Chains A and B, each alone.
Chain A
Amino acid sequence: MFAAASLAVLVVMALALVRAIKGPTVYDRILSVNSFGTLTVVLIAVLGFLTERPEFLDIALVYALINFIGTIAVTKYVEFAHLGAPVDPGDWEDV
């Protein structure tokens, strides 16, 4: 049954990946890659139960945090074309 669950998650990941490949704007791609990351977290957790190795949950936990930080970083990079360092000194408005 865990195999069926992970298969379902893989199908959803494939659907999200289709939008990431097609997605007309860069924001569509970021959005679906973010969903892909959330599904990866779920997949790692399910795989941990499938292989009866609960240590996988620690990896899933870390992946959830890295997914968040990664998406924010890419979003900020796309928005400002840099990672938020002030362009002229004293201008911290867009950080």
Chain B
Amino acid sequence: MENNVIELRDICKSFYGVQVLKNINLDLKVGEALCIAGENGSGKSTMIKIISGAYDYDYGMLKINGKEFPSITPSQSIAEGIQVIYQDFSLFPNLTVAENIGLSYHLLENKKAYNAKSSREIARESLNRIGVDLDLDRLVEDIPVAQKQIVAIARAIMQDAKVVIMDEPTTALTQNEIYRLYDIINNLKASGVSIIFVSHKLDEIFAVCDRVYVIRNGKEVANYPVDQFERGKLSYYMTGAEIYEEAFVPEELSEEPVFEVRGYSNRNNFKDISFKIHHGEILCITGRLGSGRGELAKTLFGVSPATEGEMFIHGKPVRVRNVSEAIKHKIAYIPDDRLAEGIFLRASIKDNLVAVILDNLKNKLGLVNEKVKAKSAAEWQERLAIKATLGAPGQSLSGGNQQRVVLGKWLASNPEVLILNCPTMGVDVKSKSEIHELIREMAAHDIAILLISDDIGEILNNSNRVIVMNDGRISFEAETETLDYDSLSEKITEIL
């Protein structure tokens, strides 16, 4: 009993009469890594916000370090050694690594004067503790995402943190960065820090967590030590429905490739990339962050022009020097950062769905025919099962639904080639499998599909051929069925 850092007893919480947490019980032991899994809206973030003091709870009891807190403020929670690493990391882009870590320390210690030297020392010490060496004087806006996360972790543990809560920490990381994060977490555990790890990726859960806690509709549905947890059951617990994903097997392949690229290069980003995609195929290009996979996708779509190389669609040479040429040749691109690049947040779902095909909706005067527009949008809404009214703004949708709107926007233009850049990043399990379903359906509909992904499970199940990029070049190519999780992961993370 004494070695519980956090205890929740019968915690209930309602917002505007809607109960989001129902009698939640939870114990977190010293040095334990607990995974909290649940779909979007299941109540897991509310749970974390109650622990971190951002929300009050309505009923129940919260005990931290053996002390009861009828209500707790964020600074009390921090003082008790609870640190949350938010998905956006909450860093200051305009300050250096040392300042980002050191400034929190100065505030916690209630200092009035800022001492740059002690900031550096604190930062150095904290980074040493997680075994990472970073340039302390670089601005945070200049460092890659993975390093930003390390800064956020270093900041969290700099003051005797007892509990570090990580909210989906791996969404922005590639596989080998994730491995490093595992090491960091294991180090923290060994030094007696408890971890709450919010995630719904199986591999992660089994790699670092001691216990799995699944929440659905505000209720606990599973709470097991990880070795008693059935791997296949997670999505069942999370969604309440069994989801099976069978490996993708292409139907008949066409003789001629639909899409072919020869010797594609873009300055220092990637060199000499060649591949073909036939009808019915899903080709996956993977690689670490910085391997050039993202740049390749953008170059194919004309975001930046290729410096060398040729492109063929149905055997005919085409040139794509900018995005409008790509659209003209019926190449569609779905970006990884759907919020920033794919959806017009303020525009209605209807406007979003027809954004690419506006040209086809013109009447004789060159004005948009509203009736045709509404019909077209409604059709895609139905086909993609988007749960919302067409007039609602894009930002009102959940992540998975936003992804579907972006998908629909491009499908409406009847593309020949569809490039999907990490289409399921940050999407919950159920939406993910629905998106996979859609991708497969499109492959069957004569669209050449290029899937860019670093989610190994996704690649193995949803492509028939894999190309691994490493340092801007193709380092490996194989039929997906000849690969398994470990062999592919090894190819991606190998250092050339």
Q: Do A and B come from one complex?
A: no
Binding site for B on A (CB under 8 A): none
